[in-house]
Structure 1
């Protein structure tokens, strides 16, 4: 059985304190449930953090690796979240 890999998704979650100090951060319990429908990758607008971790400026980075020659179409509703990413 052969499967065509359309993309590879990497998700990095961290709190501001861990990023500043460089220590490991406990990401257990973080939730970011994305959905794949055929060639579409649907990403939720928000992610959840366990309440016992409190709010410490948590961040979520998503890296999508595509095969050479393939293109990505990002819905314009994501523009507000992609301030530092050149899209067009």
Structure 2
């Protein structure tokens, strides 16, 4: 799988996250104006899910969780990009 394909998966996950927020399942994403500590907690929770997939020996689930980690990081960068210096 190419980098381009992986980035498409990450972009699709970002859209999924926003959809979950719109449906009320998530109160916010890391792209929103929430404290950095809250964003960090969201990111670490996703990293914890990667650790669980590693411990379970489930590479497919690990990939899924890594895409979610990347999408959370992208959302946070989106928020930082909107902050005016």
Normalized per residue, the structure richer in strand is 1
Larger-Rg structure: 1
Greater share of helix: 2
TM over 0.5: no
Query: How high is the TM-score relative to the length of structure 2?
Result: 0.22
Q: TM-score, normalised by structure 1?
A: 0.22
